[in-house]
Amino acid sequence: MSRVVTRVVLGSASAGRLRVLRQAGIDPLVIVSDVDEDALLASLDPDLPPEAVVASLANSKAVSVAAQLPAEVASDCVVFGCDSMLFRDGTLVGKPGSPDAARAQWLSMAGTTGYLLTGHAMLRISEGVITHTDSETGSTTVHFGTPTDEELTAYVDNGEPVHVAGSFTLDGFGGWFIDRIEGDPSNVIGLSLPLVYRMLRRAGLSVTDLWSE
């Protein structure tokens, strides 16, 4: 007799987050939220701590996805919303959105240190009702290297840094230009396994019960 598995729903279009979960034994249902991140950021208190900013974005994404769930999924599932931003020199930096912005970001952060913050929001849903909520922000210290001008041009032309938080990746082409990190590497990719493990435990769920068959 097959076991009943609580469905994990990932509220993100991030290939990195999906890869982290799949490599750790969970094959989630992906439902992308319809949250307007720029509008939400503009509505937040400017004095809100950076950890709370990414947590607020993550929570909004989780709630948005929960409202889109098919009934059969909402009968027994756990929804994760995530948001990552780089905190450096007192400023939060998201996705640059253009090659020029990505290049400028790298020129300013090469040889410096920043903090990759990832907000995680979790909703436990049973019979269509949210029975448990949790929120936590992971932080990983990132020490940036100093690519040559030719390397930076090639990296920006590659397109990767334009669409990722802080204009860099750890698990892609950008990994060549990261000197070292302090903390959880999966948090830099966009979903912290140790943090998610703690959240699941607090919800009374065992991660081994969520592993794909």
Report if residue 2 sits inside a domain: no
Q: How much is the pLDDT for 141? A: 98
Report if residue 197 sits inside a domain: yes
Confidence class for position 5, pLDDT limits 50, 70, 90: confident
**Which of 1-5, 15-19, 40-44, 124-128 has the weakest average pLDDT?**
1-5
Chain mean pLDDT for the chain: 95
Catalytic residue (one of 45, 76, 83, 134): 83
Query: Is the confidence at residue 17, as pLDDT, over 60?
Result: yes
Q: How much is the pLDDT for 1? A: 44
Residues 6+ apart with CB under 8 A from 110: 144, 145, 146, 147, 152, 177
Interatomic CA distance for residues 210 and 46, integer angstroms = 38
19-30 mean pLDDT: 97
Residue among 71, 7, 59 nearest 33 (CA): 59
CA-derived radius of gyration, the chain: 18
Q: Are strands 7-10 and 76-88 parallel, antiparallel or unpaired?
A: parallel
Q: How much is the pLDDT for 38? A: 87
pLDDT in tens, 111-125: 999 999 999 999 999
41-46 mean pLDDT: 91
Query: Is the confidence at residue 2, as pLDDT, over 70?
Result: no
pLDDT in tens, 68-91: 999 999 999 999 999 999 999 999
Q: Which CATH number do you get for residue 122?
A: 3.90.950.10
Enclosing domain of residue 89: 7-208
Domain count for the chain, please give it: 1
Report if residue 188 sits inside a domain: yes
pLDDT in tens, 150-173: 999 999 999 999 999 999 999 999
Q: How much is the pLDDT for 96? A: 96
Residue 157 bears catalytic tag? no
Interatomic CA distance for residues 16 and 146, integer angstroms = 24
Report if residue 213 sits inside a domain: no
Query: Is the confidence at residue 25, as pLDDT, over 70?
Result: yes
pTM: 0.94
136-144 mean pLDDT: 98
Report if residue 203 sits inside a domain: yes
Report if residue 72 sits inside a domain: yes
